[in-house]
Amino acid sequence: MKITEKIIEKHGLKKEEYENIKKLLNRNPNLLELGIFSAMWNEHCSYKSSKIHLKKLPTKGKQVIQGPGENAGVIDIGDDDAIVFKIESHNHPSYIEPYQGAATGVGGILRDVFTMGARPIALLNSIHFGSPSHPKTKSLLNGVVSGIGGYGNCIGIPTVAGETKFNETYNENILVNAMAVGHAKKNKIFYSKAKGLNKSVVYVGSKTGRDGIHGASMASAEFDENSEEKKPTVQVGDPFTEKLLLEACLELMKDDSIISIQDMGAAGLTSSSVEMASKGSLGIELELDKVPCREENMTPYEMMLSESQERMLMILEDGKEKHAKQIFEKWDLDFVIIGKTTNTKKLTLKYKNKIEGEIPIDALAANAPIYDRKWSKKKNEKNTIDFKKLKKIKIEDALIKILSSPNHSNKSWITDQYDQMVMCDTAQRSGSDAAIIRIHNKDKAIAVSVDSSANYCKSHPLTGGKQIVCENWRNLITVGAKPLAITNCLNFGNPENEDVMGEFAECLEGIKKACEFLNYPIVSGNVSFYNGTNKKNIFPTPVIGGVGLIKKIFKPLSHSLKKDKSFLILVGKTFGHLGQSCFLQENYSITEGKPPEVNLTNEKNNGEAVLKLINENLIDSAHDVSNGGLLVALSEMTISSNFGVKVEKPKKLNNTIEYFFGEDQGRYILEIGERNFKKVEKILKTGNIFYEKIGVTQQEFFEVEGELKIAKNDLFKINNQWYNNY
């Protein structure tokens, strides 16, 4: 077949990229080879627009065993235990086919984790939808939630935490980010680097079909009015087969049979074979006649580019093939030797005893394009809001408006669809600042949380990048965990747009600064560009997934109030910052102004002081103050418990709206019993930590002195009414 300009364009390649391919090959590629270049050089696989910026991120630390570059990141949690985790996007597929898109997003991230030798112990997600009034939102929401629950529940991994947000910026391009966390022994971590010559290259798992062909390329392009036609590029998942694959892999990993192993994810057999060979500076020869296919007359092109799910590629030690085959056949899975490692440093593809394609590995990996794209710095937003012109609103009315909005209403109607307790190690599930998972048969646990803040990042990307790292840090602190490391999923628009690339560069700079200051390294992640439709890009939406360690878990600490007549303390200074606040968005539809400043010194000092108080068992409950400000945070503590609060008027800020709804960063609300109050005060004063006593807990009412008094049960009803009416 003659390669035309139309075919090149259809494969998502630029004219100059095609010319580069010809130079690297010293000839014209055939269609199979073009497809392979298309898969490996697309944005999703090559990170060609982001690699320059990603290199600047902090990825090392005493706790880091494996940073970016493998299937997942690995951290040390002591006692020969390791935690393996990663977050990835499945945005485009989930918009086209919400159930399967979300389901296979879960399946894919689970394989990234157990490929490393870890048993998955938790799933999390960050999902973003368009305006609730948009005609597609309801069906997309239902499909995605069903897909996440359907896959996770069937495979038997608890979905323990996440976030669901609505904004019209996602009307035509939703975000579905899935995170998986696994537990492994430090001496049994498996990697993808190929080693040795003439070693067996083995295909295991499900058969290959025609689903998902060009899936990675589809995820590397903007949507347009024809996006619905891309349904054949969406993979179809089978959680029951994945469960078999999981158990078979972990069984084989008990001995020394596996040299390297790689999930067949984006770009399927192509990316898995190329990545293994590239890391090992070897070649790989594949006999495509031997690839197990579930459809008739599949071509080499289809086999190499299929993204059928629940498949792995392994390289085995000599003499281990029979043993491995017995294990996989016992689990009713395909096991076929389809090739061998070579010293050619080439990907050689044979079909019916004929070489159908031969490409230097370096041409696909090391020599893939890297772009230093032009970017423009975000112009500083001015705080132009004239509060005097705004219609006056009562504190009670403002609070009710926020708590009953789609973004702040109770999301239990979502989380109740997920099995959160399977495996019996979930010590604290969704609804708190972070979920807590006990390490099986031990008295230690990990805390996990995911966070994003698109409005902040849109307004001031540098500050927004800092803020999401710090919020994630605080969420782990409030449950008594020491934050160890993060994974990130960077969701942005078209990188060929200077403004979008500027948002990306500045967000990453903010993330970098916060991670460095807090000693909170990034060990894995994913970049998702081209999130937009018809030149309209989404807001920059980096998502941070954090993992922290609780060395000894006695009783999980949550934000639910525990006792009557406890003291409520606010740690951190309140200035009353309302720019980009929920108060303005929900009550006045105003999205102007700068986000609140992030003082990294205060974040670190306040967080470490709160963690010290928790470790000394001086706190009954804790909650960070973030979206919605102080009053929303107190409402959340009340709604989740059997107690209300009585809050005093502010002593310093005259403007009660600013005080109660300002979103100043680095703040925590602590519930402290009377007998511990003096001890807490002493520790905070010794550490030079700003704090103020703001009220007490009480039995029946949520009350602000002289401003509002709402029965606790009524507050609960307000917070639960949106979905019931949707």
Nearest to 303 by CA among 171, 372, 211: 211
Q: What residues contact 617, with CB distance under 8 A and at least 6 apart? A: 554
DSSP state of 114: H
CA angle, residues 502, 508, 511, in degrees to nearest 5: 145
Alpha-helical segments (H) within 156-266: 215-218, 239-252
- Active-site residue among 11, 53, 90, 559? 90
Q: Is 90 a catalytic residue?
A: yes
Asked whether the beta carbons of 125 and 159 are under 8 A apart, the reply is yes
Task: Please name the amino acid found at residue 705.
Answer: E
Nearest to 148 by CA among 92, 110, 96: 110
Residue 359 phi, psi (nearest 5): -135, 130
532 token code pair:
């937009």
- Active-site residue among 44, 92, 128, 408? 44
DSSP state of 652: S
Task: Please name the amino acid found at residue 387.
Answer: F
Q: For the chain, state the CA radius of gyration.
A: 26
What is the distance between the alpha carbons of residues 179 and 165, in angstroms, rounded to a whole number? 17
For tokens 């999703």, name the residue: 44
Q: Is 44 a catalytic residue?
A: yes
* 3 state DSSP class of 483: strand
SS (H, E, C) 491-554: ECCCCCCHHHHHHHHHHHHHHHHHHHHHCCCEEEEEEECCCEECCEECCCEEEEEEEEEECCCC
Q: At what angle do helices 712-725 and 395-403 cross, to 10 degrees?
A: 50
Asked whether the beta carbons of 72 and 61 are under 8 A apart, the reply is no
Q: Which positions are annotated as active-site residues?
A: 44, 90
